[in-house]
Amino acid sequence: MSTDTGTQTDSGAGRQRSILTPATNWIENLSESAYAYLLLTPAFALLTLVAFWPLVATFRLSLLADQTKGAAALGGFVGLENYLNVLTGDIRLARQFFDMELVGGFPFIQLGTPFFQQALFVTLAFALLNVLFTTLIGFGQALILDQDFRGRRWVRVAIIIPWAVPIVIQGMIFFLFFQPTVGFGSGVMQSLGLFSANPLASSQDSFFIVLIADIWKTSAFMALLILAGLQSVDRSLYDVARVSGASPWQRFKMITLPLVLPALLVAMLFRTMEAMRIYGLIESTAGCTTVPSMTCLVIEGLFGGTRIYGTAAAVAFITAAIIGLLISVYIVKFRDNEGGLY
């Protein structure tokens, strides 16, 4: 509708003008602030519908009891009981399908550990390792792309393509790769003594498969952000360093790293937040019961054998709170340097 008001100034559209003139005049006479708010209305209407209202509604749901009997999936108001149950691992209702037996087991998790601790561990460990490796690999890729060589354009395309692969296909590739009958991945890993015979049925092995799959896809994102940092470095600094006899390693340590660091930290934080939401890749490779991430728990709670909306909502809200905490750290940390977010 805004487009119409914009095009109505066409000299030919006389009839249209008469209809839209009042609206145009009204817009023209708005103060700059009011005009700004008007233009922001569609964006915030969409965000209210899809994000702000659902977040509040999720919180409300999380305060209601789980109900398995009867048609309604929701019981009465129980306050923060769902949160307490989730955090302390005391879930009577959820036990039947949530307290999943981890096949193969994680090195630091004992069988029978309450589901939320499992999920929290899986999610945090995944995010941490993912960020560590994507940063290292992404840095390597960025340093390569920063050089001048023939075919650089195509090397860059090769690096970006995994980033653009749909999550389900990324999952499919690694699912096939580690299928004992199809791929040679599981055979190779087994002969190295790293994985069991059917890695996609083991929690520990699947965790690493999911990790590898995600590093394969997302290191390109890191690489591009780091590359942007690298290319904004003043090249004359390198010439000065070379003249003073600095080795390439010294040049990297004293010039490149400090100058790229701000961009790198932002990229790492963004990757952490994204890695904490992991779901689709798990669902399409090993399945949510093998590698239970926090989002997996929410979906299992909603669509699993027993529908436990209240508990699922509490888990969803805890995940959101952890990510919210990360965002606040980011704001506090970066607001002062570089003028922050406007």
Partner 1 sequence: MAAETETQTQTTETRQEEPELDRGPLERWVSDSIDNPERTYRALFYTAMIVMLVTTLFPFYWLLMVALTPEGQIQDIILTPNGFNPGAFIEVFQVLPFHRFMFNSFVIATVATVFVLVIASLAGYVFGRLQFPGKAPLMLLVLIVSFFPPAAFFIPLNDLFNSRIPIIAPLLSNGTLYNTPPALIIPLSALFMPLAIFILTTFYSQIPDGLEDAARVEGTTRLGALFRVIIPLSAPGVATAGVLTFIGVYNEFFFSFLMTDGQPQNWAPILEGLLGYQTQYQTMYNLMAAASILGVLPVAILVVIAQEKIVSGLTAGALKE
| Footprint of partner 1 on 191-250 (CB under 8 A) | 216, 220-221, 224-225, 227-229, 239, 242, 248
In the three-class reduction of DSSP (H, G, I as helix; E, B as strand; rest coil), residue 184 is classed as coil
Under the binding rule (CB under 8 A), the answer on residue 26 touching partner 1 is: no
Under the binding rule (CB under 8 A), the answer on residue 182 touching partner 1 is: yes
CB-nearer residue toward partner 1: 112 or 258: 258
Size of the site for partner 1 (CB under 8 A): 109
**Footprint (CB under 8 A) of partner 1, residues 279-318:** 279-281, 283-284, 294-295, 298-299, 302, 309, 312-313, 315-317
Of 99-107, 108-116, 147-155, 200-208: span binding partner 1 (CB under 8 A)? 147-155
Torsion of CA 134, 138, 140, 142, to 10 degrees: -170
Name which of 156, 102, 143, 171 is nearest 260 in CA terms: 143
Name which of 332, 265, 316 is nearest 59 in CA terms: 316
**Footprint (CB under 8 A) of partner 1, residues 117-146:** 140-141, 144
Of 51-59, 75-83, 110-118, 128-136: span binding partner 1 (CB under 8 A)? 51-59
Torsion of CA 131, 132, 138, 143, to 10 degrees: 140
CB of 110 to partner 1, least distance (A): 26
CB-nearer residue toward partner 1: 179 or 196: 179
Task: Please say whether the beta carbons of 119 and 102 come within 8 A.
Answer: no
Altogether, the residues listed in the chain come to a count of: 342
CB of 278 to partner 1, least distance (A): 9
Name which of 293, 154, 133 is nearest 223 in CA terms: 133
